[in-house]
Structure formats: structure tokens, C-alpha cells
């Protein structure tokens, strides 16, 4: 049986918030990948992108994924682009149920527009909505290929989403 749950999905879907609730409910360790990347790099994700570029960030993401994939009893809030490198998902899937968290475009646009300063992929974009749509369209097949379970939380609160994911993971595990 897999002991980890990883939340994947586009920026603004609530991965970190939902992961915190699931970890609390299940008594598992919360792992925020972006926080670990920032600790390893000694700077913020935004500064990694600005100073070193996306390729350097993705390499740090691969390194951190390798480290955490070997551990047990975690709820992992992944960065939105973790699915872009298949090696990350292959490593996670050995001991992790991968849950794709989705919300409507309108919810994502509202959430990320409020904090665009911490969204490196939107920095400098003249039309943030268009950039979000393009990124979502490009990444969707990667998310779908990577996910064991998909949960749309557009109309659910934090606790209800966490409970739904826990139920779906238990059901998934009982069948595999």
C-alpha cells in the first residue's frame, strides 16, 4: 500500500491549502515542495526563476522529488509544473497516490491575479488571463497522464475537498 498522497494541479488550485488539511486529518507529514526548493536554493521561487531561470528551477524540483519520494507517510503539495518532467511522477508513483486537484478557470484567474507577484510564470505578462489559459491548455495532458485520481474542488470548501480526497484515496487503494 502506498503511504503518500501528492497533490498536483495548476497554480491556484489550492494544493498547499488542501494538503495541509489532509495531513492534519491523517496525521501525516506535510511536505511543501516549493518550500524545500527555496531552502535548498537559499532564495524564493520567484528569485530562482529571475536569477537562474526555469531550467535551474526544474532541476531543483527533480532533486527534491528524488529526496522525498523515498519517504513514507507524507502529504505532498507539488509545484504546478512537477508533471513537466516525467521522472518526477515516476519517482513519486512508487509510493504515492497522485491526486490532480482542479478548479474552474475563473477561480484560478481570481486567485493568481491576487498574488501575481509570486507567480514567476506570469511575471511580465501583459494579458495574464491569456497566459493562464495557454499554460493550462499546454499542461492539461501532463496532469491527466500523471493523476491516479482527479478531484474538482470548484464548488467545495477546504474541509470538504480534503475529506473527498481522503475517501477517494482509500477507495483507490482498496482496488489496487
CATH 2.30.40.10 fits 4-167, yes or no: no
pLDDT, position 133: 86
Q: Where are the domains of the chain?
A: 4-167
pLDDT, position 132: 82
Looking up cell 528524488 gives: 66
pTM for this model (two decimals): 0.90
Task: List the pLDDT tens digit at each of the 176 positions of the chain.
Answer: 889 999 999 888 999 999 999 999 999 999 999 999 999 999 998 899 889 998 999 999 999 999 999 999 999 999 989 999 999 999 999 999 999 999 888 888 777 766 655 566 666 667 777 888 888 899 999 999 999 999 999 889 999 999 999 999 999 988 87
Listed as own residue / partner, the contacts of 166-175 with beta carbons closer than 8 Å and 24 or more positions apart are 166/22, 166/25, 166/26, 168/99, 169/5, 169/97, 169/99, 172/97, 172/148, 173/1, 173/2, 173/97
pLDDT, position 40: 95
Amino acid at each position: 500500500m502506498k503511504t503518500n498522497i501528492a497533490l498536483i494541479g495548476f497554480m491556484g488550485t489550492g494544493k498547499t491549502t488542501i494538503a495541509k488539511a489532509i495531513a492534519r486529518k491523517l496525521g501525516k507529514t506535510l511536505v511543501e515542495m516549493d518550500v524545500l526548493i527555496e531552502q535548498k536554493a537559499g532564495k524564493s521561487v520567484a528569485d530562482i526563476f529571475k536569477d537562474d531561470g526555469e531550467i535551474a528551477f526544474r532541476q531543483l524540483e527533480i532533486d527534491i522529488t528524488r529526496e522525498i519520494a523515498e519517504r513514507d507517510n507524507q502529504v505532498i503539495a507539488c509545484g504546478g509544473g512537477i508533471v513537466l518532467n516525467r521522472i518526477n511522477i515516476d519517482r513519486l508513483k512508487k509510493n504515492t497516490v497522485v491526486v490532480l486537484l482542479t478548479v474552474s478557470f475563473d477561480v484560478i484567474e481570481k486567485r493568481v491575479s491576487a498574488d501575481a507577484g509570486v507567480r514567476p510564470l506570469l511575471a511580465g505578462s501583459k494579458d495574464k488571463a491569456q497566459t493562464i489559459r495557454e499554460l493550462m491548455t499546454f499542461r492539461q495532458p501532463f496532469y491527466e497522464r500523471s493523476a491516479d485520481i482527479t478531484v474538482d474542488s470548484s464548488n467545495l470548501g477546504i474541509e470538504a475537498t480534503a475529506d473527498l480526497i481522503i475517501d477517494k484515496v482509500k477507495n483507490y487503494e482498496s482496488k489496487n
